[in-house]
Amino acid sequence: MKKITLLILIVLSFNNSYSQFWKKKKAKKTETIVPVEKKKEGKIKDYNNIITKEAKTTSGLFKVHKVTDKYYFEIPNNLLNKDMLLVSKFAKVPSGLGGGYVNAGTEMNTQMIVWDKFEDKLLIKVKSTNSIANDSLPINISVKANNNDATLYAFDIASFSKDSTAIVIDVTKFFSSDVKAISGLSSGIREAYKVKNLDESRSFINYIKAFPLNIEILQDFTYNASKPSTLANTETISVQMSQSMILLPEEPMRPRLFDSRVGWFTLNKYDYSSEELKSDKKTYIRRWRLEPKDAEAYARGELVEPIKPIIYYLDPATPEKLRPYIKKGVEEWQKSFEAAGFKNAIIAKDPPTKEEDPDFSPEDIRYSVIRYVASTTRNAVGPSISDPRTGEIIESDIIWYHNHLRSYRNRYLIETGAANPTARTLHTSEEEMGEMMQMVIAHEVGHALGFPHNMSASCAYNVEDYRKPAFTKFNGISASIMDYARFNYIAQPGDKDVRYIRQMGPYDTYAVNWGYRIIPNAKTPEDEIKTLDKWILEKAGNPIYEFGKQSSNFDPYSQTEDIGNNAMLASNYAIKNLKIVAKKLPEWTSDISNNYEDLEELYGELLSAWSRYIGHVVTYVGGVNETEKKPNQNGNVYTITPKAKQKEAVNWLLKNAFSDQGWLVDSTILNKITPDGYHQKLLSYQSRHLFNLISIERLGRLLDAEFINKENYKALDLLSDIRKGIWKNNAKTVSITERNIQKLHLERMISLYNDDAKHSYNVSSSDIKSLIYGELLQLKSDLTIEKNLTRDTETKYHYLECISRIEKCFENK
């Protein structure tokens, strides 16, 4: 009888469970929080003994309690094993950290995490997101087994909530210890500054706040360090770290597959569900989720507002006079989004007042903010946080550093002052400075929308067009705001009404449409490929719509800070302008300010500008143009720069870089700002470009080009042309500047001959050392003759010493 009763109870229990299961299946939108079984033994205590009456509690993604000096998370069971992001950023840094390239707001680590319960512990696990497979396929078992999640930290369960639907853990130790994955101090930083350990007596949790979709933690960490970046005597590095724990969307956005012919920030996946004989690499673009409010109207081609627009709030610290320009910079992108079918897709707003929104906080993940940072750093950045599963951008904080406008004032004066009267002042008008800021913000917003730098956009226009008012006002100075093309340095004195400041370009609208327009009837990323490919092919061959990677150091048509499609011609105009500016610098600066600080600063900027123009021409030598294509397009991806163009570049460099540039060494300036080093400053720039011109990698590309076609410009052509140009001696007397450049050339040749290090190009099995050996022998022969012809003692000694260097070089080998 007892057995029958037991059987009946089991059946009833099963039926009840079965019934409850189907009830849950039907009620999809109602998620039941399942109580966990309480365990009274061990360290797990009653809720009221942990979260006492003294607790200060904030509610959001989950509850955060502060009890005296301890912090507790109360994590609901329905958030266990839910995908979250843990983002670690610097909130405050000491001066000079990371060489000045690590600033407040710099993101140091982003990890996808889950909370996972194991016995009496709650674990933070860092998930691997690179390898994926369809859940229904057997290989998914192997993918999980071979990409095991790392346990970042294990917390003892302190208690359970009163209704047993949440787990309580003490997070104090985790957020007050030196957990390297979230500390912000990379191994490189630790090594550079000889960081010993975290001083816990001087480290603490500033606060932990709960918001609806995220938890924000602010930590103050002080480390003992033998060589800190500043205040050396303290042997201390103090940083403030911000940790953001963000709940990812329950329903992931449908990703869009990347095409290298259009520039996007990306993330990679390896899909083991592929039918191919290997894992299928999938690359997704990073973009915001924009969905039309009225899908039918959108499908008819009407402009439709998105369900959730991209909204940027201004930092409350932003000066009032700059706010209109920052807003305009954000909303510069509205027209581009209209091309993708969205109206008012991106909006800028003032920060709400306490009365309007008492809970507003820049740390709240629901708000993207343009931070205004009081820092001497001259920079602005546009980082964003994206879902590692799909590439969906979920938040972005653009950072503007206070001193950045000074850089733009300086370059505006240096690069356009010869032709542009309004630039010839230390007090550039508010309107012009505001427009510059507006365009910098637009550039950084572009990054936050998913766009990297497009360095070929500034080469889309002919050089002479930069001198035409109508052309520059309509087209600006680059086909994209995402290029590093800041000012029109080509326009000459007498060119009236040309545009000098950059603006949005046609490529920007093209890229927004390609990445953000919804493709009707597409159900999967693969369904979109045909349409996306069609849009690219419609623009193929037009340089306005080409994308050039910033990482290229060999493509003369994909360079930073250049404008125009011919660097020799553009740099001719630029140097003409610099020569005018160099003579006028004292008049525009120290004569007005009655001090030499600005004169010294701007003279340094002038040298830097000259150096940039030289660098643009160097890239033509051994240059290879990269134009991304697919097999269904005509032409090559890589095209060697024509021989005539390379030879033109070498001759240009010999004249404008590797010869006496006395106009840059102006005693009327230098004797006001420095007691010495007149030639050394200029020589350092000449050295940089000469060493770059005669580099292993460049010589290797020239040898490759000769292998393909003997009619191409050769490595021997380059070495011979440089030797003849630098060591030419018509007057039999060589100036001090020319002697210095000749020594640089000899130093470089000997250095390469003695270089046995490994390079990307295999030197030992190539002709490089043979060619350098032959050139050194030829130079020795020439100098042996020249030393007997010259009557100038200094020149003769110079030749004798150079001959001795060559002989020692051969003896040592």
Reported pTM: 0.86
> Is the confidence at residue 295, as pLDDT, over 70?
yes
105 vs 473, more confident: 473
Same domain for 71 and 8, yes or no, is no
Closest to 640 (Cα-Cα) out of 721, 704, 716, 715: 704
The CATH number of whichever domain residue 479 belongs to comes to 3.40.390
Q: How sure is the predictor about 647, in pLDDT bands with cuts at 50, 70 and 90?
A: very high
Same domain for 563 and 675, yes or no, is no
Same domain for 62 and 24, yes or no, is no
Residue 268: phi and psi, rounded to 5, are -110, 145
Q: How far is CA 749 from CA 64, 408, 797, in A?
A: 66, 39, 20
Sign for the pseudo-dihedral over CA of 34, 37, 43, 46: positive
CA-CA distance, 686 to 665, in Å (whole number)? 13
Which pairing describes strands 368-373 and 638-640: parallel, antiparallel, or unpaired?
Answer: unpaired
Closest to 557 (Cα-Cα) out of 540, 572, 544: 544
Strands (E) across 119-213 are located at: 121-126, 131-132, 150-160, 166-170, 195-198, 204-210
Domain-embedded: residue 541: yes
Tokens 């964003």 label which residue? 384
End residue of a domain, out of 247, 277, 305: 247
Q: Is 287 exposed, middle or buried (0-12, 13-18, 19+ CB in 10 A)?
A: buried
The contacts of residue 677 (CB under 8 Å, 6+ apart) are none
Same domain for 477 and 542, yes or no, is yes
171-180, 363-372, 480-489, 659-668: which range is least confident on average?
363-372
Domain-embedded: residue 64: yes
Residue environment code for 395-415, b if the CB has 16+ CB neighbours within 10 A, otherwise e:
bbbbbbbeebbebbbbbbbbb
Q: How sure is the predictor about 23, in pLDDT bands with cuts at 50, 70 and 90?
A: very low
> Is the confidence at residue 66, as pLDDT, over 80?
yes
Same domain for 572 and 657, yes or no, is no
> Is the confidence at residue 19, as pLDDT, over 50?
no
Same domain for 327 and 475, yes or no, is yes
Half-sphere exposure of 636 (CA within 13 A, CB side): 7
Domain span holding position 723: 638-812
> Is the confidence at residue 271, as pLDDT, over 90?
no
CA angle 357, 374, 600 (to 5 degrees): 155
Domain-embedded: residue 601: no
177-181, 254-258, 412-416, 688-692: which range is least confident on average?
177-181
CA-CA distance, 665 to 659, in Å (whole number)? 13
Amino acid at 281: K
CA-CA distance, 481 to 441, in Å (whole number)? 10
Which pairing describes strands 131-132 and 266-271: parallel, antiparallel, or unpaired?
Answer: parallel
Same domain for 52 and 18, yes or no, is no
Q: How many CB atoms lie within 10 A of CB 357?
A: 13
CA-CA distance, 614 to 691, in Å (whole number)? 13
Give the model's pLDDT for residue 20.
Answer: 39
Same domain for 667 and 782, yes or no, is yes
Number of domains in the chain: 4
CA-CA distance, 293 to 107, in Å (whole number)? 33
Tokens 């710099």 label which residue? 106
295 vs 231, more confident: 295
Give the model's pLDDT for residue 511.
Answer: 98
Domain-embedded: residue 715: yes
Same domain for 4 and 59, yes or no, is no
Domain-embedded: residue 593: no
Three-state secondary structure call for residue 762: coil
Give the model's pLDDT for residue 777.
Answer: 96
Same domain for 205 and 338, yes or no, is no
End residue of a domain, out of 185, 216, 247: 247
Give the model's pLDDT for residue 144.
Answer: 53
22-31, 78-87, 108-117, 349-358: which range is least confident on average?
22-31
Distance between the two ends of the chain, CA-based, in angstroms? 102
CA angle 721, 562, 551 (to 5 degrees): 85
> Is the confidence at residue 540, as pLDDT, over 80?
yes
Same domain for 23 and 56, yes or no, is no
CA-CA distance, 501 to 488, in Å (whole number)? 7
> Is the confidence at residue 471, as pLDDT, over 80?
yes
Give the model's pLDDT for residue 24.
Answer: 36
> Is the confidence at residue 409, as pLDDT, over 70?
yes
Domain-embedded: residue 608: no
Same domain for 649 and 686, yes or no, is yes
Give the model's pLDDT for residue 353.
Answer: 86
Edge-to-edge order in the sheet of strand 380-381: 346-349, 310-314, 368-373, 397-401, 380-381
Domain-embedded: residue 604: no
Domain-embedded: residue 348: yes
Most confident of 21-30, 614-623, 674-683: 614-623
Radius of gyration of the chain (CA): 32
